[in-house]
Amino acid sequence: MNNEPDLPPSHDEARRNFLKQSSLLTAVALVPAPVVQAATAELDERVAAAIEKVPLKLEINGKKYKLDVEPRTTLLDLLREQLNLTGTKKGCDYGQCGACTVHVDGQRVNSCLSFAVMHDGKKITTIEGLADGDKLHPMQAAFVKHDGFQCGYCTPGQIMSAVACVREGHADSEAEIREYMSGNICRCGAYTNIVAAIQEVKNGGQKV
């Protein structure tokens, strides 16, 4: 299959997988919609699983993972459904609420809007990786102290976003915090308390 685009050397495995997929598809004369076709042609289950997955290396909360995932698996669903890291929440699945906020290489992003495979080789930090053992991160402690939540469902996303907000230098005033935290919806409406928590951390001078 010489018309496949080239891949970086580290993706040899992925390449082999694609090649395998392509030849498999050729073998059963199915082009070009692999899965719909696999579905309707009642391809053997194991074959279907094999062609659907690609290898993926991630470092999550300091731990290295070697995984095989479907390209269509989002980072959020990978965390929640396959790795049991359910601290990261699904609130809308469309990038409209911020509950799924995690850090990828230190930057806050919506984990629902990217495929896990796109983050191959990257470092992910979720709410589970924020505390230092039993010692809460200063932002976590400030959220408890200022009651920056009610139901708690948006809270992991709020905290991950808040930590990034301070690190980015976007927490210099109440107005700036309000704007740069607007990507995290709290339907319980604990907004004022969230701002208080962020301001305390920002002004406290602790390392975030």
Partner 1 sequence: MKPLSKQIGSTLNRVDGHLKVTGAATYSAEYELPGMSYAVLVGSTIAKGRIKSIDARAAEKAPGVLAVITHFNSPKVPGFTPTGKDPSQPQTTGGRLKVFNDDKVRFNDQPIAVVVADTLERARFAARLVKAEYEQEKHETDMAAGLRQAFVPTQAKKNPKSGVADYVRGTADAYKTGAVKLEAEYVIPTEVHHPMELQAIIAHWEAPDRLTIYDKTQGTMATRRDFAKEWGLPEENVKVIATFVGGAFGNALHSWPHESAAIIAARQVKRPVKLVLTREQMTTMVGYRPHTWQKIGMSASPDGKITAITHEATGQTSSYEEFTESTVQQTRMMYTAPNVNTRYRLAALDVSTPIWMRGPGEATGAFALESAMDEMAHLLNLDPLEFRLRNYTDKDPENGKPWSSKFLKECYQMGAERIGWSKRQLKPGSLRDGDWLIGYGMGVGTFGAHRGSSKANVRLLPNGTVVLQSAVTDIGPGTGTAMTQIAADTLGLPPEKIRFEWGNSEFAPAPTQGGSAIVNTVGPAVQEACLALKEKLRTMAGASNAAFASARKEDVVFADKYLTLNGNDTARASYADLLKQTDGGFVTVESKPNGENGQKYSMYSYSVHFAEVRVNPLTGEVRVSKLVSCADAGTIVNQKTAGNQMKGGAVGGIGMALMEATHMDDRFGRYVTKDLADYHVPVQADAPAVEVLFVNQPDPHVNALGTKGIGEIAIIGVAPAIANAVFNATGKRVRELPITPDKLV
Partner 2 sequence: MNQFQYVRPSKQQAAIEAVAKDANATFIAGGTNLVDLMKRGVMAPQKLVDINRLPLTRIDHDPGKLRIGALALNSAVADDKQVREHQPLLVQAINAGASAQLRNMATTGGNMLQRTRCPYFYDTAMPCNKREPGTGCGALEGINRMHAIFGFSDKCIAVHPSDMSVALVALDATVLVSGPRGDRRIAFADLHRLPGDTPEKDTTLEPGELITAVEVPDNPFTKHVSYHKVRERASYAFALVSAAAALDLDGSTIKAARLAFGGVAHKPWRLTAAEQFLVGKPATEETFKQAATVAMQGAKAFKHNEYKLRLAPNTLVQALKNATAA
Q: Which residues bind partner 2 (CB under 8 A)?
A: 3-8, 11, 14, 18, 21, 32-36, 38, 52, 54, 70-72, 74, 93-95, 98, 101, 107-110, 112-115, 117-118, 120, 161, 164-165, 168, 170, 178-184
Count of CB atoms within 10 A of residue 144's CB?
11
The CB density around residue 175, as the number of other CB atoms within 10 Å, is: 9
**195 is an interface residue for partner 1 by CB under 8 A:** yes
Is 103 near partner 1 (CB under 8 A)? no
Binding partner of residue 192 among partner 2, partner 1, none, CB cut-off 5 to 8 Å per kind = partner 1
**Cβ 76 vs Cβ 93: under 8 Å:** yes
Residue whose CB is less far from partner 1, 7 or 151:
151
DSSP 17-58: HHHHHHHHHHHTT--S-HHHHHHHTT--HHHHHHHH-EEEEE
| Beta carbon nearer to partner 2, 52 or 133 | 52
Is residue 83 classed exposed, middle or buried when 0-12, 13-18 and 19+ CB atoms within 10 A define those classes?
Answer: buried
Q: Single out the residue of 89, 108, 119, 202 in contact with partner 1 (rule: CB under 8 A).
A: 89
Does residue 200 touch partner 1 according to CB under 8 A?
Answer: no
Q: Closer to partner 2 by CB, 1 or 144: give it.
A: 1
| Residue reference for tokens 């997955």 | 53
Site for partner 1 contains 201 (CB under 8 A): no
